[in-house]
Amino acid sequence: MRLLMINAPPELARELQRLSADINGLELMIADRNDPLVPGIGNAHFFPFTSVAKVDLPAIAKLRKLLHSFRPEVVHSFVPRALAQTVLASTCMRNPPKILSFYGITRVPLWGDPGNWITYLSPKIAHHTCESNAVKLALIAGGIKESKCEVIYNCVAESTAPKDRSELLSELKIATDRFVIGTVATIRPVKGIDLLLEALLRCSDLNNVIVVLIGPIQDPKVERLCEDPRLRDRIRVLGYIPEATSWMPCMDVFVMPSRSEGLCRALLEAMHQGICPVVSDAGGMKELVRNTTDGIVFPSEDSLALATAIRRLHGSKTLVQQYGNSARHRVAALCGARVVAERVTKLVQRVAAAA
């Protein structure tokens, strides 16, 4: 079976490459801007592929040429642009490949958006992989059959040696006895970081609590709160950092208070590092974090409930460690690269065999 993956997460591409060494007859082609493959492992090939829009005629022509030469039974496209190009490139082919999408948001795809006609609502899509059950429900609400949707959680990156906590805290000029709450995101209103800062105000009596914000701030309310004299000395704003997850070991607790969320990638990384998660019940986060087992889940938009969670964890280092350990095992079981690669492979085989 020949499988073409376009814009797949690098860690998934590498794990599928390893699987291609174990599964007879599986030939893998990875199309992307950069080559994620490990030389000399499995039956895998790289095809350099870039594009600038859904309807990018040179990219579509290049992809159509690849479809004719590689002749994949299945194409799995991971971003809307690549999905549209796959749909258009395979049009009028005598034996077109079956197409898989990846959907990672909870916005319902609407027929009023012409972009959906050549992506998620196209009849040429054989099956949809969904980042969470919340995402799956959004596709179903858009008119897609439930039988064509399957939840496969995103995978976490391969393990690397974590940085030393005390060194990170020293770089941030944070004393080692501080209780550090952190988050990693493009800080837009939908991420609810203003709720985290409001919760910090509610915990003003907890003098050793520090909040670390990693990511560009694109929310005026958050900008104002960061300048609030009551909070200014209790917040560290790091801005955009290319390797943001490398700063996670400085955190005691990872908070994601989103108002809407498919399934936050930074949350997976934090859990993977054994950091206690506190998340809103938006979207798919409550599927991954079992309340009072792997962390704490609080109602979206409720800064008082978030403050209560912070107080509870602040008062129990044992509970923080317990939740962090459980979170690490939970994400390994559901989002480990090998687990996800095997689920993708089984789905691809099933789709390829379907009439």
pTM for the complete prediction?
Answer: 0.92
List phi, psi (to 5°) of 183: -150, 155
For residues 263-275, average pLDDT: 95
* Residue 312: pLDDT band with limits 50, 70, 90: very high
What's the pLDDT score for residue 59? Answer: 97
Q: Percentages helix, strand, coil for the chain, rounded to the nearest 5?
A: 40, 20, 40
Backbone angles phi, psi at 328, to 5 degrees: -60, -45
User: Given a cut of 80, is residue 159 above it in pLDDT?
Assistant: no
pLDDT at 297: 98
341-351 pLDDT per residue, tens: 999 999 999 99
Q: What is the pLDDT of residues 102-112, one digit of tens each?
A: 999 999 999 99
Segment 45-53 shows an average pLDDT of 95
When pLDDT is averaged across residues 2-15 and rounded to a whole number, the result is 96
Tens-place pLDDT, residues 178-231? 999 999 999 999 999 999 999 999 999 999 999 999 999 999 999 999 999 999
Q: Is the pLDDT of residue 355 over 80?
A: no
In this prediction, residues 269-273 reach a mean pLDDT of: 96
Report the distance separating Cα 169 and Cα 250, nearest Å: 6
For residues 235-261, give the mean pLDDT.
95
Residue 100 tokens, joined: 């898989």
pLDDT tens, 280-299? 999 999 999 999 999 999 99
The answer, yes or no, to whether residue 13 has pLDDT greater than 90, is: yes
> Which pLDDT band, with edges at 50, 70 and 90, does 140 fall under?
very high
In the chain the domains, ranked by start, together with CATH numbers, are 2-155+336-353 (3.40.50.2000), 165-335 (3.40.50.2000)
Distance CA 179, CA 81 (A): 42
